[in-house]
Amino acid sequence: MYNFKNDYSVGSHPNILNKLIETNLEPQLGYGEDTYTLEAKEIIRKKVNNPKADVFLLTGGTQTNLIVISFLLRPHEAVISAKTGHISANETGAIEATGHKVVTVDTENGKLNPKHIQKALNEHLNKPHVVKPRMVYISNSTEIGSIYTKKELTELSSFCKSNNLFLYLDGARLGHALTSSENDLTLIDIAQLTDVFYIGATKNGALLGEAVIFNTPYLGLDFQLALKQKGALLAKGRLLAIQFIELFKDDLYFILADHANKMAMKLAYAIQGNGYSFLTKPVSNQIFPILPKELITKLSNKYLFYVWKEVDENLSAIRLIASWATDEKMVDELINDIKQI
């Protein structure tokens, strides 16, 4: 079976494994005080152009989301998210399990704008009978493949500042967002426009690893205690650090994401060429073509993918994901199969 189901089906980019082997027997301090963790943090501070940024390395997206959010919110405060947001739809109540309500908003394409936030705020005026929204959670790219423009993120950032809301960006697929052909944001922009965000590596070439960056001064103070308390502090921090050191060497992180996007977009153009439309405009490594159910059934004999949503009696949208490891031959074969069927 050819895999278009997710972007975490293979191991890691070989550079990472090679480096793990190369450094394997060096004795190092534990719990993130090793020289590799220090080096990875320094590299990331440079990449975001903020020497005072507080950087922490974690193992996964849900873990990162729940620790960041519970660390910054007080008990009566809540986080606003798109209904399609990962914290709302896919994390088994991880945020609620830390005591906080996720206030959800319907969106057209998975992206939040100031109007959405204002609406959520308006619905929480009946103090003290409602929670106090205090953070906005967004993903870039979103769970349905869309990305934020610099203008959009700037407006959101400014709205959040005016309304005393933390802006937190989930970057599980940040590489794919920043290498999209439609993107005009940089890592530095994101660091300036958000209070805290994370750079996801699990879905872009690492075995595991997400790097949280607190941009706002002092915001990350004591976060190491939160990591330990929530079971996220690895004894061997080097394992996470080496993922990021290798991925940020010679921009490998962006090269890998770019490949994933190109493969997905090649698929998207071909599918469009066959006259099919999409649930949301394809711009990154996740695309959602709307196909005849019959075609979907046939494809599913050879390819792995999610059937995302029924559109009508005859049509459904499916999700196709490409990754840094997607072989172009596999893409061509799928294109060919769609054309022929």
| CA-based R_g, the chain, Å | 20
Q: Judged by CB under 8 A, which stretch of 162-170, 228-236, 249-257, 287-295 contacts a second copy?
A: 228-236
Q: Site residues for a second copy, window 173-202 (CB under 8 A)? A: 202
Q: Give the count of beta carbons closer than 10 Å to the beta carbon of residue 11.
A: 12
Q: Site residues for a second copy, window 58-87 (CB under 8 A)? A: 59-60, 62-67, 70-71, 74-76, 78
Q: Site residues for a second copy, window 318-337 (CB under 8 A)? A: 325
Counting residues that bind a second copy (by CB under 8 A) gives 74
Q: Site residues for a second copy, window 5-64 (CB under 8 A)? A: 6, 8-12, 14, 17, 20-21, 23-31, 59-60, 62-64
Q: Site residues for a second copy, window 82-111 (CB under 8 A)? A: 89-94, 96-101
Rule CB under 8 A: say whether 122 interacts with a second copy. Answer: no
Q: Helix (H, G, I), strand (E, B), or coil: what is residue 60?
A: coil
Which residue, 13 or 47, is less far from a second copy as judged by CB?
A: 13
Closest CA to 135 of 109, 159, 106: 159
Which residue, 90 or 181, is less far from a second copy as judged by CB?
A: 90
Binder to a second copy among 82, 120, 131, 144 (CB under 8 A)? Answer: 131
Q: Give the count of beta carbons closer than 10 Å to the beta carbon of residue 126.
A: 7
Which residue, 157 or 326, is less far from a second copy as judged by CB?
A: 326
Rule CB under 8 A: say whether 309 interacts with a second copy. Answer: no
Closest CA to 208 of 232, 179, 177: 232
Rule CB under 8 A: say whether 273 interacts with a second copy. Answer: no
Q: Is the torsion defined by CA of 263, 1, 146, 247 positive or negative?
A: negative
Give the ranges where 104-215 is alpha helix by DSSP (H).
114-122, 150-162, 174-178, 187-193
CB 315 within 8 A of CB 293: yes
Which residue, 185 or 263, is less far from a second copy as judged by CB?
A: 263
**How does DSSP assign 266-315, residue by residue?**
HHHHHHHHTT--BSS---SSEE-BEEEHHHHHHHTTTEE-EEEEE-SSSE
Q: Site residues for a second copy, window 230-259 (CB under 8 A)? A: 230-236, 238-239
Which residue, 27 or 51, is less far from a second copy as judged by CB?
A: 27
**Gap between the Cα atoms of 320 and 279, Å rounded:** 12
Q: Judged by CB under 8 A, which stretch of 211-219, 223-231, 272-280, 293-301 contacts a second copy?
A: 223-231
Write down the least CB distance from residue 154 to a second copy, Å: 29
Which residue, 108 or 222, is less far from a second copy as judged by CB?
A: 222
**Gap between the Cα atoms of 260 and 270, Å rounded:** 16
Q: Give the count of beta carbons closer than 10 Å to the beta carbon of residue 283.
A: 21
Write down the least CB distance from residue 239 to a second copy, Å: 5
